[in-house]
Amino acid sequence: MNSFDGSLIENIGRFKDFLRSYNEEIERKKRSVEHRILSSLRIDRIEIGNRWHLKVLNGKRVVGVDGSQIAPLRELGIPIGVIQVAKIWVIHGKGEYGKNYRTTFIRLEENLDLRRFQLELEMLKEEMDGKSWLFFDGSLMPYSVDPSIRDKYEEKISEVLKLSEETETPLIGYIDKSFSKDIARKFGLDIYDSFLLSDVMDMFSYTLPFGEDVCYAYLMVNPSMPVRVEYPNWMKDMHEEIVKIVFAECLLGKTRGYPYILERAHHYSCIDAKARASFMKSVRSHGISFKWISKIR
């Protein structure tokens, strides 16, 4: 990749040229296989009617988890962080709902992303009752994780997939902005599936599922890019019902493009300013160094 003398602001013109070239390259690749995509991929569409989403969700118990964290701040001399995960459940149409939290503290030498991932899935496992629909904000396939901890990701995912099947509890991984290339590679292209499919899918359309142990499909829940959903293979025959549940949850959300249950889980999982201030005050009270605080602006 080319490099240039000078700061970013001095090279902003070159960045615009790079961005334009990048987009043109993607468009060329998309056009080269568009006819093959249309002839080989089956893309169906859901017909959305008035209050359709309320009818789909009525009586269903849906659960979502999400987490947030304060990472250990090496540059400030703070070797301890915290993870907070929120679990939200709601029975649609009955006005019944609830939430609870789990918090854990993490040392600098631990892997924060792995620990948060494990905690979120542990909370989902508690809800595998054979009756609820579970939503996970992220992938059920560990892609580009550190090889040294990849086995730990796969172990936790295997546990959750197995329990989901044993209890017959539907589990859906929702990836709002997917950078997977699984379908594109089938056509010999090195671009993202969401870019490849954006011009051949319209609102409320969806692909049939792909994959083996974990199935995946793309849904057009907003006018820009399709989202990706993943679920255990045992749910494959439920694909149309899964699609309806996901679309309905998205229509119920504030943005109408993101599942309501994950929207609420994200809202409650965020560590607010008061909690952050208390965390930092506790750090200061124990004399942990703020040696490099001048570096943070």
3-state DSSP helix/strand/coil percent for the chain, to nearest 5?
45, 20, 35
Mean pLDDT of the chain: 88
pTM for this predicted structure: 0.86
Tell me: pLDDT of 34 over 80: no
pLDDT digits (tens, 9 = 90+) for 128-166: 999 999 999 999 987 656 777 888 899 999 999 999 999
Residue 14 φ then ψ, to 5°: -65, -35
Give the strand pairing for 80-91 and 205-207. unpaired
Please, are residues 120 and 65 in contact by the beta-carbon 8 Å criterion? yes
pLDDT band for position 197 (50/70/90)?
Answer: very high
Report pLDDT for 294.
Answer: 40
Q: Which amino acid is at 297?
A: R
Domains of the chain: 43-291 (3.30.2170)
Gap between the Cα atoms of 235 and 213, Å rounded: 10
Please, are residues 69 and 279 in contact by the beta-carbon 8 Å criterion? no
Tell me: pLDDT of 290 over 70: no
Residue 228 φ then ψ, to 5°: -115, 135
Gap between the Cα atoms of 210 and 248, Å rounded: 22
3-state secondary structure of 180: coil
